[in-house]
Structure 1
Amino acid sequence: MEDISSDNVYNRIKWDLKYKYLAHLPEYLQNKLETSGISEKDTDKIEEEKTYDKQIDENINKDDTWELVTMLGGHSGWIRTVKVDPVYGQWIASGSADASIKIWSLLPNDEGHHLKTTLNGHTMSVRDIAISDRHPYMFSCSEDKTVKCWDLEHKSIIRDYHGHLSGVYTVCIHPTLDLIMTAGRDSVVRVWDIRTKRSVMTLTGHKNSINKVLSSPVDPQVISCSNDNTIKLWDLVSGGKQYKTLTVHSKSVRDICLNPSEFSFASCSTNQVFSWKLPEGLLLSNFSKNRDIGLVNTLSCSYDGTLFGGCDNGEMLFYDYKSGKLKTSFYGEKVKGILSGETGILSSTFNKKGDILITGEMDKFVKIWSKNKS
């Protein structure tokens, strides 16, 4: 597989991992934090804060279409997570209910094959993967209660992180510090020192399983969503205190994703997709206000402002992030012999350019979709 450990990448940023070196909130954001306290239900204030461009509808290209170009088979269980190499964008990692991780080349080799290697080490379903853009590491978490660090050069496990009391559903890497965050069925977020394997913080407050955790370089440095219907924003600088709890969702919050081009994020649950402004946690848009969309399992946002939602019934939703308008929707390719209850989309990710979408699905296939502009 490609070498992602060049000196320029590996040595770009090195941090002392002691708590006192955690990134602090910039002064201009600190002032906002101290003067906020605005409720997400204060619609007047929401409208005042939004930078909605009335001409955005004219810029939505309704001729954009997505075409299935490749189906990658080999897993024997549901595909719970898919991630793209963040450095070169040339390979994909997938984690499955079959307890394995597979590394695929985005383009086939001379023999027409995409599979590069299979990584075994977990004993139960692999629920999430995070790939570092600063070190030659990949992190995985599983229902076997463990978190593992993989050396991508040698394709081997070099560290295990133990501490969760039940299945671990989500893992993310801090964008500037040598920290990872994990969470799962035990309802707590754990913050780990990557190298020492020490749990440096435990964030408590959720009352049910945590489905996703994200990390930002400035506060709130951790965002989590849960089956308790809430999203929590956490302040690492204060030692892991809850910064704010968002309670707009009426059912389990299945996924959250950061917008890579602005300081905001999106969230999804049954019949609900919202976007939120950071750091205040103000509601920006309700993407699902005009139609029933069913259970949305996964969200991904591209740099060009496309928000993708993958549904439990196999429907694929493509929104314009800025306006909240639905650009297009369709049902994904159904694999022959697959039961009707196994058409759901469980995971997704865009490449950096935003013209390739990868989905992981209940039918045990990783699917690569290409954007075609008329």
Structure 2
Amino acid sequence: MIVALVHVLAVRSAKFVAREQWIVAGADDKFIRVYKFNSDEKIKEFEAHTDYIRSITVHPTLPYVLSASDDTLIKLWDWEKDWACAQVFEGHSHYVMQVAFNPRDTNTFASASLDCTVKIWDLGTRTPTFTLEAHSKGVNCVDFFANSDKAYLISGSDDHDVKVWDYETKTCVQTLEGHTHNVTTICVSPEVPIIFTGSEDGTVHAWHAMTFRLENLLKYELGRVWAIGCIEGSPKIVIGCDEGTIMAKVMCSHNWDSANRQIEEEDSNE
């Protein structure tokens, strides 16, 4: 096991850059640090923001990383130009909690903020192209997903709700209710039509991505849920909580309209 002591304060977001064999991490010390993921060699270190860094995301094809911060700014970094700041995006009035690239149009991305909005941005423009007045309280997480030929956004909030948005019409088509505390994380499975949402209520909800029906409710008694990860090509999900991590496997039949669905715990680390 390779452990790199990279930050003085808490690390809130880290992403793999597989094509470069890097890990990129942002933290409360306001720095972005880049390490080789098979050693502790540091590639780059720089102060990226003037406040906590909440979210990092990597462009799927271009040499770009987006960072979002409590300083209300989103910044675009170009690693082929020695990590120069290629663009600063301004428009949020509170902490920016998460950013996510649009897989169908990678020139655009979405952001979630505690100013209660979700904003959509174009990489070439400093200001948002449109804003969703998303929730009655701060928005913590946002992601894109597709259902047949339609594109959607999904957002989770301190108002305890998850909202599904038609990306073309910019309208809310469904509100997913059931969490009893702040919704902290969203993960759309690339393998099965399931949306996973995690919350400070200590549960993970599994929603059908076509009917938006609640399929399962998971509770592992490990405190608040902060992160959920899915891997393409695998039925497994990883759940990060206050007191440990869980790896679970999604089990389903081929008939999603009438299937038995279950999510089995495989392993946990307390």
Deviations 1:225-261 (A, max 9, x none): 01110101111211x1111110111111111112122
| Equivalent in the alignment of 2:198 | 268
Quote how far apart the aligned CAs of 1:130 are. Answer: 1.0
| Equivalent in the alignment of 2:100 | 172
2:131 is the counterpart of 1:235: no
Quote how far apart the aligned CAs of 1:281 are. Answer: 1.6
Aligned with residue 124 of structure 1, among 51, 57, 61: 51
| Equivalent in the alignment of 1:191 | 120
Provide the rounded CA distance (Å) in 2 between the counterparts of 1:182 and 1:195: 15
Decide whether the 8 Å contact of 2:2 with 2:38 is kept in 1. Answer: no
Provide the rounded CA distance (Å) in 1 between the counterparts of 2:192 and 2:131: 28
- Shift in alpha-carbon separation, 1:280–1:158, aligned structure 2, 3 A: same
Quote how far apart the aligned CAs of 1:89 are. Answer: 6.3
Please give the residue correspondences for 1:79-158 in structure 2 after superposition, counting only pairs within 5 Å: 79-85=11-17, 87-88=18-19, 90-108=21-39, 113-154=40-81, 155-158=83-86
- Shift in alpha-carbon separation, 1:152–1:221, aligned structure 2, 3 A: farther
Deviating beyond 4 angstroms after TM superposition, the runs of 4 or more aligned structure 1 residues are: none
Aligned with residue 211 of structure 2, among 272, 280, 284: 280
Quote how far apart the aligned CAs of 1:220 are. Answer: 4.6
Deviations 1:150-192 (A, max 9, x none): 1111111010010000111100000121111011110100001
Quote how far apart the aligned CAs of 1:216 are. Answer: 2.3
2:229 is the counterpart of 1:297: no
Deviations 1:120-175 (A, max 9, x none): 23000000011011221111100000000111111110100100001111000001
| Equivalent in the alignment of 2:89 | 161
Provide the rounded CA distance (Å) in 2 between the counterparts of 1:320 and 1:157: 40
| Equivalent in the alignment of 1:72 | 4
| Equivalent in the alignment of 1:182 | 111
Quote how far apart the aligned CAs of 1:78 are. Answer: 0.5
State the AA in 2 paired with 1:318: M
Higher-Rg member (1/2): 1
Q: Secondary structure at the match of 1:170?
A: strand
Deviations 1:12-56 (A, max 9, x none): xxxxxxxxxxxxxxxxxxxxxxxxxxxxxxxxxxxxxxxxxxxxx
Gap regions ≥5 residues in structure 2? 252-261
RMSD after superposition: 1.5
- Shift in alpha-carbon separation, 1:83–1:267, aligned structure 2, 3 A: same
Task: Identify, as 1 or 2, the structure richer in strand.
Answer: 2
State the AA in 1 paired with 2:269: F
| Equivalent in the alignment of 1:207 | 136
Quote how far apart the aligned CAs of 1:302 are. Answer: 2.1
> Which deviates more from structure 2 when the two are superposed, residues 320-329 or residues 179-188?
320-329
State the AA in 2 paired with 1:206: H
Gap regions ≥5 residues in structure 1? 1-68, 332-374
